[in-house]
Amino acid sequence: MARAVFLDRDGVLTRERSDYVKKPEELEILPGIYEPLREIREKGFRIVIVTNQSVIGRGLTTHEEMGRIHEKLRFELERQGCTVDAIYYCPHVPSEGCDCRKPEPGMIIRAASDLGIDRSRSWMIGDKEIDLEAARRAGCRGIRVLTNSDQLANAVHIILSTEDSGLQAGGS
Ligand SMILES: [Mg+2]
Ligand SMILES: [Zn+2]
């Protein structure tokens, strides 16, 4: 079974906006994310984005527009050698009580089932407590970064160094 790094989108890969990302022109990729994404890819991790997008449930944008936003994101990442295996988003507002909106673990569980991912050997990187809570409830380990910061590389280094020491411990 594959391992994955699940990534939150807004505040981690792209700039979180207080008025939401509603169209592709509003999507701004944060600096410094390409190298760490390539690194986790090279180590054999799947890359899966899991993102709450209540902006749809609030009527501020549509599924079609979200598709265009994610096409742009994939295109820009792909150009830099960062293939994304899948993007899962929750379109619901909190009051709908769905099972996908983080801190619910639904998106991680679905992605793991779709892509054959071993959740216990996978990680989630997010900028909110709800991301870590979703990771815990899905049986993954989680790392928190500051919103809109340049900390993805640090988070990835923590993952890779933990994995390396795990391998040494397992082999001794
Ligand atoms: Mg976020
Ligand atoms: Zn949902």
Mark whether 150 is an active-site residue. no
pLDDT of residue 171: 41
CA of 11 to the centre of ligand 2 (A): 19
- Alpha-carbon span 5 to 13, nearest angstrom: 13
In sequence order, what are the residues at sequence separation of 6 or more whose Cβ sits closer than 8 angstroms to the Cβ of residue 107?
50, 88, 89, 90, 100, 134
Q: Rounded mean pLDDT of 32-50?
A: 97
Interval between CA 74 and ligand 2 midpoint (Å): 22
pLDDT, average across residues 117-128: 98
pLDDT bin (cut points 50, 70, 90) of residue 151 is very high
Residue 166 has what pLDDT?
64
Q: Evaluate if residue 172 carries a pLDDT over 80.
A: no
99 CA to centre of ligand 2 in angstroms? 6
Residue 164 is among the residues annotated as catalytic for this protein: no
Burial (CB < 10 A; 0-12, 13-18, 19+), residue 79, is exposed
Q: Which ligand is nearest to the CA of 91?
A: 2
Q: Which ligand gives the minimal distance to the CA of 14?
A: 1
CA of 90 to the centre of ligand 2 (A): 4
* Catalytic residue of the set 8, 131, 150, 164: 8
Distance 125 CA to ligand 2 centre (A): 19
Q: Please give the CATH architecture assigned to the domain spanning 3-171.
A: 3-Layer(aba) Sandwich (3.40)
Catalytic option among 10, 118, 131, 164: 10
Ligand nearest to the CA of 105: 2
Which whole number is the average pLDDT over 101-113?
98
Ligand nearest to the CA of 15: 1
Residue 41 has pLDDT above 70, yes or no: yes
Q: Using the mean position of ligand 1's atoms as its centre, give its distance from the Cα of residue 5 in Å.
A: 15
